[in-house]
Structure 1
Amino acid sequence: MHGTGKPLTKEQRDQLEADLTFPRIVELELNPVQGQFDAAHLKEINRRIFQDLPGAGLTDVTPGQYRPASPAGKDWYKNRGLSVAEKETFFVAYSSMDASAQTRLDTALQSADPANLGKLKTKGFTDAIAKLYVELDYLHPFSDGNSRTLRTFTRQLAREAGYSIDWERFNKTKGGRDVLYIARDLSVNALAEPHLQDDKTRLAIKTSMLMLDGNRTLPELLTDVVRPLRAIAFEQLPERDALQDHPELVDAYKMLHAVVTHFKHALATDANAQEQAIRSAKQKLVERLNEGETHNFA
């Protein structure tokens, strides 16, 4: 319990949520939900992250349960404050989470297949995971914590497909969080706009989209934070460990060894030039691996 007996301010509630959910998110990194990346998997992630909140007095939180459907003729939306435009209020709209939205969610999750996603090169994977995230974010299935749930869900999905999504990069500064908010909201509002029921909501969403026009959408933004796990291993791990985790790196290491041998002879009298040439060649290999290549490094 929060212990004061008084209603919490928004700042106090946000801090209590953060204190209770952060350790649960870390636990999910160490012990992910075992599931099929379906609706049950998504619900269980939400339940685990927010399981402590009702017992702490936040009884309006319903971990692992879908939010109620919006009343007929009403839209589900919220305002978004941005540190880069403190005097402005922006809006983002979501699905009504009625029966048809739940069916749409189940359909969207059919694409959450690590085996198929793992066959894609980096650009294809980034486009696919961004499309899935935007669709799930628009559906917004839970009353609380959709962003934390979806980041955990897509991070685990990416990892099982052989990729890393560095969501944390956006949380280091207020500006970084704003960039992510804007990208997500632009992409979500584009899906929401055709389904809005109230004229006031439609005007608020259209105005927000026009004010944010020209910023990057989520698919564009994710190109900065998605990398194949094998590229990270090649760059950061000893060769033996990288090959143990990613045997498909064998061709990259063959090329690296050939490059090292070449420059040790070609630049035998200039150790600095030799080191620089080898470093440059390895970086080019990393760039190819970042693109999703495992062969053709000549």
Structure 2
Amino acid sequence: MSEKDMEEKEGLYIPRRLMELDSHPIEGNFDLEHLCKINQYLFQDLPKLGGKYERFYKPGQYRAELLPWKTWMKHRPIPGTSKTSNIVYSNMDKIIINETQDFLKKNIDINKMKKMQVKTFVKKMTEIYSKLDYLHPFRDGNSRTIREFTRELALKAGFEMNWEKSNLNQEKRNELYIARDLAVNKIAYDRALSMELKYDIEMYMKPFKNCKKLEEILSENIEKIKVKKQKIVMSFSDKDKSNNRNMGR
């Protein structure tokens, strides 16, 4: 199973599942269990292909924990440039899983979010997205899963998160890739236990120091959903009844 084969199969099944979720979002408490359900739904078709697909794709399941001295990294070539973005993710140990779960519980309050101004909501969603992206809980499909999770969360809170604005062209996609990677590496830097790893992460971020930050990009993609006020039109008979009631008081 080549990377090209994987991309072709994912391109066949995942968009259809995303369309289904657009109409019927998965209900949940916006915790890690909810995130797992979204990942399971999106990638449910691929293990059914059997063979290597069945062995590689584990929808809804966490990736394996790494030993403390090992690092889960990704080397992302930036299309159209000579640059590569190197990202350091969590080791998926119990400590970071519990920390992330606690963070979601403390920071996701739908009723409070409904009352937020766009700027405050954008800041909160930037924190949530960055934490989940650093956790990077699945072997595959983290970005698509987190985008859907945050889209559903925004919708529940009365906001529209339009990720399509960051998919208009390659330049926009690169902006989002780099911004996400910078946010993740910032968390990884703060959590790094060795000076050597801190130095490496600092070097990873250096070529992109003047690029857009994730909060800036989300501010372009998030809008408050306007509630349409219904215009009440009273018939003549309704007006007469209302006048009669007022006169009788």
TM range (shorter): 0.7 to 0.9
1:43-82 alignment runs, 5 A limit: 43-57=36-50, 58=53, 59-82=55-78
Task: Give the 3-state SS of the residue equivalent to 2:229 in structure 1.
Answer: helix
Task: Give the 3-state SS of the residue equivalent to 2:4 in structure 1.
Answer: helix
Does the 8 A contact of 1:75 with 1:197 survive in 2?
no
Question: What letter is aligned with 1:31?
Answer: H
Q: Partner of 1:243 in structure 2?
A: 229
Does the 8 A contact of 1:114 with 1:158 survive in 2?
no
Alignment partner of 1:127 is 2:152: no
Task: Give the 3-state SS of the residue equivalent to 1:216 in structure 2.
Answer: coil
Q: 1:170 to 1:114 in 2, by over 3 A?
A: same
Identity %: 35
Q: Partner of 1:140 in structure 2?
A: 136
Question: What letter is aligned with 2:177?
Answer: Y
Does the 8 A contact of 1:75 with 1:201 survive in 2?
no
Instruction: Report deviation, 1:142.
Output: 1.1
Instruction: Report deviation, 1:158.
Output: 0.4
Question: What letter is aligned with 2:97?
Answer: Q
Question: What letter is aligned with 2:9?
Answer: L
Distance 1:22 1:198 in 2: 41
Candidates 36, 57, 61, aligned match of 2:29:
36
CA RMSD, aligned part only? 1.9
Candidates 228, 231, 236, aligned match of 2:224:
228
Instruction: Report deviation, 1:15.
Output: 1.6
| 5+ residue gaps, structure 2 | 232-249
Please give the TM-score of this superposition, normalised by the length of structure 2.
0.86
| 5+ residue gaps, structure 1 | 1-7, 234-241, 248-298
1:81-160 alignment runs, 5 A limit: 81-85=77-81, 87-110=82-105, 111-160=107-156
Does the 8 A contact of 2:38 with 2:60 survive in 1?
yes
1:47-100 Cα distance to aligned partner (Å, 9 max, x none): 000111111231211111111111230011100111242x23220111111000
Question: What letter is aligned with 2:109?
Answer: D
Distance 2:164 2:109 in 1: 23
Instruction: Report deviation, 1:11.
Output: 1.6
Paired positions, count:
228
Instruction: Report deviation, 1:211.
Output: 0.4
Instruction: Report deviation, 1:204.
Output: 4.1
Question: What letter is aligned with 1:88?
Answer: K
Instruction: Report deviation, 1:45.
Output: 0.5
Does the 8 A contact of 2:85 with 2:178 survive in 1?
no
Does the 8 A contact of 2:85 with 2:181 survive in 1?
no
